[in-house]
A and B are shown apart, each in its own frame.
Chain A
Amino acid sequence: MSSDVSRDPWDTLRAATRARVGLGRAGDGLSTAENLRLAAAHAQARDAVHAPLDADAVLAALGERAGPVVRSRVADRTEYLQRPDLGRRLADDHGLEGGSYDLAVVVADGLSARAVQDHAVAVVDALLPRLEGWSVAPVVVAEQARVALGDEIAVALGARMVLVLIGERPGMSAPDSLGAYLTYEPRVGRADSERNCVSNIRPPDGLTHDAAAEVLAALMTESFRLGLSGVGLKDTGAALPSAAG
């Protein structure tokens, strides 16, 4: 009634999932090869969490749209991971200049600087041409930042909406996933339920930069029309709990 493991039945099943099914065994445990594959995936995710953001490279890629670099009240990565409350607040010496804008864009390291490095400027490039007639503040680069840091940045800039492009918590199979969080009338103390999120921006496996920009532009336009963001603003079902908090 039984037969040895053959590759045939697994082919269909493997094609339907990225789950690590049908791994090789050594006795009861995982084989050396599988252990090393898992270790390599974990190492990628760990490095994504701990690698610092190369702010200069982001500024250079932003070119004339680039604004200042700011920091949260977090001192270092260790504190960042343990004190999300400090990562949501702007350091006192931010030097942001107040104005009057429709939109502030914040490029923030979050939990994966690699995601930001790989995808953030490309999303900005794809998005801004879709926002004809909007006044957009110079793009702020934020270090040791949580999503809610964007609220305080937007208030300092005098912006009616903030878009935070931030590195999401890395998974073993997704160390470079970018999230985009949209908040209408940002202010300190906004709840996560008052934001909309487009997550998993990570071509080719996740959303492409253009697809993300298309969804964001539609959401942002609708947000301005309705005068709100969050659970009251649907159409993509994108309001999510924030992995980058």
Chain B
Amino acid sequence: MTGRAQRRGKFRTTLGGHSHTFADLRELLAKATPMRSGDVLAGVAAASAAERVAAQTVLADVPLAHFLDEAVVPYEDDDVTRLILDTHDADAFAPVRSLTVGGFRDWLLSWEADTAALTALAPGLTPEMVAATSKLMRVGDLVAIARKTRVVTGLRTTIGLEGRLATRLQPNHPTDDAVGITASLVDGLLHGAGDAVVGINPATDRPSTVRALLELVEDARQRLDAPIQSCVLTHVTTTLELLEQGAPVDLVFQSVAGTQAANRGFGVTLDQLREAHAAASELHRGSVGNNVTYFETGQGSALSADAHHGVDQQTLEVRAYAVCRAFDPLLVNTVVGFIGPEYLYDGKQILRAGLEDHLCGKLLGVPMGVDVCYTNHAEADADDTDTLLLTLGAAGCAFVITVPGGDDIMLNYQSLSFQDVLQVRQTLGLRPAPEFETWLGSVGLLDDAGRVPQLVPEPIRALMG
């Protein structure tokens, strides 16, 4: 595969009497990207609103097939580029091979592009094609296309079914205190949360601590006889070590990014991910499926590692999903508002990025969730997270993250509360994952109208000590 053609055509257009030139696909994609602070920080953003529209106009006429010839990060230098191009499925790509980027947007919106067609197409799409097309979409497009795109995965619950919105219950504690974590775990279960995963960000990567947290949730799962899966979000090398020790590992977690250099910044290689994926798959701990990996991503992570190669942050983010899809994940989520205002400045930028990430992940065949969130130095508040949650609910998002009161006391940022999700499930008629829904009903935590009553069932009371 060496020596893949690197055509460097110049892209030109005239708009309002001004001519605009873009040196290569990388520059064209960056300048066509709707405004966000991280691209300005990286020095790759359009210099004016007119230049941005000019770039979008040119991009709309670029043939999708061109993306197979011109890599935004060189093939020779980057294993993510190699993964993308070497695993591209030409047969799956055939139905859209002759389209331009703009034509592809129209096709995605067409009635012909139904759920079955989009599922079949996924292996034929590269991240750059998907990112490019999303840059020509408005929020309404991002929602409408995502709604008919479906990615279904499973371990002990089934994720991604139509009409379902699952939650990661995130019971973090700043000192990994077992009672403190149990408090948040119980609170979440009482609100019907946790059907995607009980996922703890540990305060320390110490293997003994991570193992103790895994066993804490495993013990709760067995005592409650509940269909949940757990994950302690530690580095993949720590999880590998725990797998060798026989710890109860349901899911292998890793943060990943869209370039080899950025993944090096996370201290992870594709080979390590392959090894951990294989080891966890062999355990067969699931009951309805065997998807055993969980990844988090976020626009700006490559720039913060100084590993962006002059590529805009949204294109790089979608490249991260190509890494994820190589390992048959149960769950993937963007941490969209967490990275900070130097990458996504305000509620408007966070809203758009969250919907872009969600759609682009699903189009590539990744089971996409979102951490609907913001930090306190971003220009955002709970109205913005409500808006993103409602639009994601309409878009058929697989899962969102929930913490008590929306206040993560370990990571110091605001995500969704359990109540936020109860409310949006009622507003939009969405339900928990089916296996978890059945369990909730069996312990009295779901009434005939699909509501979660304020009760403490005996098995959960027993966990409270």
Contacts and interface: CB of A to CB of B under 8 A. Distances in A.
B426 interface: yes
B381 A21 contact: no
A2 B457 CA distance: 4
Interface string B412-433: 1110010110110110000000
A98 B413 CA distance: 41
A34 B456 contact: no
Given A2-B458, A49-B377, A9 B464 contact: yes
Given A30-B419, A171-B412, A42 B342 contact: no
Determine which residue in B40, B184, B187, B417 has the highest number of CB atoms from chain A within 10 A of its CB, and name it: B187
Interface stretch (A79-87, A129-137, A157-165, A180-188): A79-87
A4 B454 contact: yes
Interface residues of A, number: 46
B376 A170 contact: yes
B187 A5 contact: no
Given A5-B454, A12-B465, A169-B377, A17 B444 contact: no
Interface stretch (B26-34, B211-219, B389-397, B402-410): B402-410
B183 interface: yes
B201 interface: no
Contacts of A21: 183-184, 186-187, 404-405
Contacts of A65: none
Interface stretch (B13-21, B173-181, B278-286): B173-181
A1 interface: yes
Determine which residue in B183, B382, B409, B455 has the highest number of CB atoms from chain A within 10 A of its CB, and name it: B183
B295 interface: no
Contacts, number: 151
Contacts of B173: 17, 19
A32 B396 CA distance: 29
Nearest to A48: B376
A84 B339 CA distance: 13
A46 B183 contact: no
Contacts of A91: none
Contacts of A57: none
B180 A17 contact: yes
Contacts of A82: 37, 40-41, 341-342, 345
Given A49-B376, A82-B37, A82-B40, A19 B404 contact: yes
Nearest to A243: B412
A38 B414 CA distance: 10
Contacts of B456: 2-6, 9
Nearest to B406: A38
Contacts of A39: 382
Interface in B361-398: 375-378, 381-382
A18 to B, nearest CB: 5
Determine which residue in A3, A22, A28, A111 has the highest number of CB atoms from chain B within 10 A of its CB, and name it: A28
A9 B341 contact: no
Given A13-B179, A38-B405, A45-B376, A171 B422 contact: no
Contacts of B422: 28-29
B46 to A, nearest CB: 16
Nearest to B187: A21
Contact of A172 (B177, B407, B420, B451): B407
A42 B452 CA distance: 28
A190 interface: no
Interface string A38-76: 110110011011000000000000000000000000000
A193 to B, nearest CB: 11
A30 B417 contact: yes
A135 B417 CA distance: 51
A14 interface: yes
B461 interface: yes
Interface in B23-58: 37, 40-41
A83 B39 CA distance: 11
B417 A42 contact: no
Contacts of A172: 376, 407, 412, 414
A173 interface: yes
Given A4-B455, A19-B405, A12 B377 contact: no
Nearest to B445: A2
B457 A1 contact: yes
A22 B191 CA distance: 10
A28 B426 contact: yes
Contacts of B345: 81-82
B100 interface: no
Contacts of B461: 3, 9
Interface in B201-241: none
B182 interface: yes
Given A2-B458, A83-B342, A19 B464 contact: no
B419 A20 contact: no
B464 A12 contact: yes
A174 interface: yes
Nearest to A18: B409
Interface of B: 37, 40-41, 171-173, 177, 179-184, 186-187, 341-342, 345, 375-378, 381-382, 403-407, 409, 412-414, 417, 419-420, 422-423, 425-426, 443-444, 451-452, 454-458, 461, 464-465
21 contacts: A1-B457, A2-B443, A2-B457, A4-B456, A13-B183, A13-B186, A16-B177, A19-B184, A21-B187, A28-B423, A28-B452, A29-B420, A38-B406, A42-B382, A45-B376, A83-B41, A84-B342, A111-B377, A171-B409, A173-B407, A174-B412
